[in-house]
Amino acid sequence: MTAASAWRRALRRPWAARIAVVVLLLGLWEVAARWWVDPMFLSPPSHVFASLPAVFDTRGVPAALRITFWELAVAFALSVAIGLTIGLAVGLQPFARKSFMPIILLLYGTPQVTILPLFILYFGIGPASKIAFGVSHGFFPIAMTIVAGVQNIKPILLTSARAMGASRWQTLRYVVFPHMIPSLFTGMRLAMTAVLLGVLLAELYVSTAGIGYFTTLFTQNFDPTRLLGLISVLAAMAIVLNEIVRRAEVHFGRWHTD
């Protein structure tokens, strides 16, 4: 009686209920995988967890994870650099913005995955093509948020900076850049999602040493335990990377909410 009411009181907290939902789903999966589904296709979560060390012991998997992580990191860094450059080049000049923003939006709206085979042809099947494809996804959100951020600076700030005798560089340094920071971090959060998508798409398409090679291998060997293990590790990596940029956005975006 008291146990039941204690449970009910615990579940009244949303986070506790959320955990309960996740545990329930894992339980359903466990039951389904153990008794109903062919073990060729699905393995229960307990096996997947138990086999995580085996996944890391598979020859080449730690190296593949490391390669994928580096591809993500390099693609993200390049996206920020290129997106920032293009965003500033286009955003600081009203005329350039009016001319080139529609082109950027048009390119952003096209499904880039159709040109994935081209990236492989130009950059080979190694990490270079994954990085390039990741950058092709990642720099758009940064460029666009930078343009929007620069555009949204109150004109009175620029005018008063000019009136107080600020040079062009001083205006950039003390007015434009500080106002750009929150939109830069918003762009970085969106870019991280996009880079993850681009790099993983390219990895899954063709790969000789990255994780794409192993997902194909485990799929073709009907080894769902290790496939799920590898996917969980990658999902965890994606969640951690997304969370880092999200925290950064919250942290650096705060001062702006006046």
Partner 1 sequence: MRRSGNEREGRLASRAVQATFLIALVALWYLATTRWRVSPLLLPNPAVVLRDFWEILRTGEFLGDLRVTLTELAAAFAIAASCGVVVGYLISRSQYRMRVFEPLFAGIYSVPIILFLPLYVLFFGLGPASKIALGATIGFFPIALNTVAGFGYVDRVLVVAARSMGASDLQLFRYVLLPAALPIILTGMRMGFTVALLSIIGSETIASLAGLGHRIVHLAEGMEMAPMFAYIAFVVAIAAILNVLVSMLEARGRRP
For residue 153, which amino acid is it?
I
Q: Does 190 bind partner 1 (CB under 8 A)?
A: no
Q: How far apart are CA 187 and CA 200, in angstroms?
A: 20
Gyration radius of the chain's alpha carbons: 24
Binding mask 83-102 for partner 1 (x = CB under 8 A): ------------x--xxx-x
SS3 category, 40: coil
Touching partner 1, residues 38-67 (CB under 8 A): 41-42
Q: Does 76 bind partner 1 (CB under 8 A)?
A: no
Minimum distance of partner 1 from residue 238's CB (angstroms): 5
Q: Does 196 bind partner 1 (CB under 8 A)?
A: yes
Q: How far apart are CA 258 and CA 251, in angstroms?
A: 14
Question: For partner 1, which residue of 91, 187, 210, 224 counts as binding (CB under 8 A)?
Answer: 224
Judged by CB under 8 A, the stretch of 58-66, 118-126, 154-162, 248-256 that binds partner 1 is: 118-126
Q: How far apart are CA 103 and CA 107, in angstroms?
A: 6
Q: Does 72 bind partner 1 (CB under 8 A)?
A: no
Q: How far apart are CA 190 and CA 140, in angstroms?
A: 9
Question: For partner 1, which residue of 18, 154, 247, 256 counts as binding (CB under 8 A)?
Answer: 18
Phi and psi torsions of 172, nearest 5°: -60, -45
Q: How far apart are CA 199 and CA 69, in angstroms?
A: 10
Which tokens is 63 given? 């190296």
User: Which residues make up the interface to partner 1 (CB under 8 A)?
Assistant: 12, 14, 17-18, 21-22, 41-42, 95, 98-100, 102-103, 109-111, 113-118, 120-122, 193, 196-197, 200-201, 204-205, 215-216, 218-219, 222, 224, 227-228, 231, 234-235, 238-239, 242
